[in-house]
Amino acid sequence: MATPLELSTGSGADGIPVVTVVGEIDMSNAGRFRDALGLAAAEGGRFVVDLTGVEYLDSAGVNALFGHVSRIRLIAAPLLVPVLTISGLSGITSVREPRD
């Protein structure tokens, strides 16, 4: 059974918008994910997508990220780093692991 997708938005300590994602991103909920990214992008400037709580990311979720690649910085748990690398995202946008 898939883990439900939870999305929240806020601002980091530096005032940059942050979209925090928890659960699984797949084709059943990628539209909601894409909408959340679009809302953050509408604020203008760069924004952060915190994927540290994501347990699964399929190609629909990766595609949603590519739509904003020039403006996002990604924070991802080690579990997702291979997906972000193979997809090419890590080569064209900032991807870092969470700080402890």
Structure confidence by residue, pLDDT tens digits, 8-28: 999 988 889 999 999 999 999
pTM of the model: 0.93
Task: Report the SS3 class of residue 18.
Answer: strand
Query: Rounded to an integer, what distance in angstroms lies between the CA atom of residue 14 and that of residue 5?
Result: 26
Residue 89 falls inside a structural domain: yes
- Answer whether residue 1 is part of any domain: no
One-letter identity of residue 79: L
Give the domain range for residue 70.
Answer: 6-96
Number of domains into which the chain is organized: 1
Judge whether 32 lies within some domain.
yes
Residue 6: closest CA among 53, 62, 47? 53
- How much is the pLDDT for 20? 97
CATH number at residue 69: 3.30.750.24
Name the strands in the sheet holding 47-57, side by side, starting at the edge strand that comes first in the sequence: 6-11, 17-25, 47-57, 72-75, 94-96
